[in-house]
Chains A and B, each alone.
Chain A
């Protein structure tokens, strides 16, 4: 799987937008970009995924660069409950069984 690079940690104020960056310069044309997050003492949970176009769902938005070498997860209005580790993951066509290869992710701290 292609590698992703994320900042180790970020801070944001409550009720403000948060932009979590991810670099994936070696992404292949058929790799999907997925985001999962892991709240304290819980298993990871799915946030959003996309291929080329920007995506929105009830949890977040995913902005994908035109060359697909980077993407940004956007939390529009952070709450204390959004404090978690956020993982940016590439899931490619080479993996028919598609296990997830996690990196260390970005630990997001929300300041009240």
Chain B
């Protein structure tokens, strides 16, 4: 079956611009997570959705970052006024219900480069 998909696979933008990154989770998964990964580091948690609501946004670095999941399926991560330090791979994952025994299924990521 279809896994988690993310678009675009690569995004190059200029400092100060606005970007949107999209995640299509596995159908039926109520839990959706965003992570970002810098070179040589493990993924870092950003935000978690349970259904349509953000259950935990403690990982968002500042108010330039925002994410939505209006219908409880597709999610969009939005970054305003991008900075060079935002360059990273942004990963999305989904799981059946978000419990600690649930497997998280990751997408291939979106590589964001801010020039």
Interface residue ranges, A against B (CB under 8 Å): 32, 36, 41-46, 49, 85, 87, 91-93, 95-105
Chain B residues within an 8 Å CB radius of A99 = 33, 45, 48, 56, 59
The answer to whether B98 touches A44 (Cβ under 8 A) is: no
CA distance A49 to B103 in the complex (A): 9
CA distance A97 to B103 in the complex (A): 13
Known: A43-B91, A104-B41, A104-B42. A97 touches B48 (CB 8 A): yes
Chain A residues within an 8 Å CB radius of B48 = 97, 99
Tell me, yes or no, whether B25 is within 8 Å of chain A by CB.
Answer: no
Interface residues on B, range: 20 to 34
The answer to whether A45 touches B106 (Cβ under 8 A) is: yes
Tell me, yes or no, whether B43 is within 8 Å of chain A by CB.
Answer: yes
Residue of A whose beta carbon sits closest to that of B109: A43
The answer to whether B59 touches A43 (Cβ under 8 A) is: no
Chain A residues within an 8 Å CB radius of B100 = 32, 91-93, 95, 98
CA distance A20 to B104 in the complex (A): 21
Tell me, yes or no, whether B20 is within 8 Å of chain A by CB.
Answer: no
Tell me, yes or no, whether B101 is within 8 Å of chain A by CB.
Answer: yes
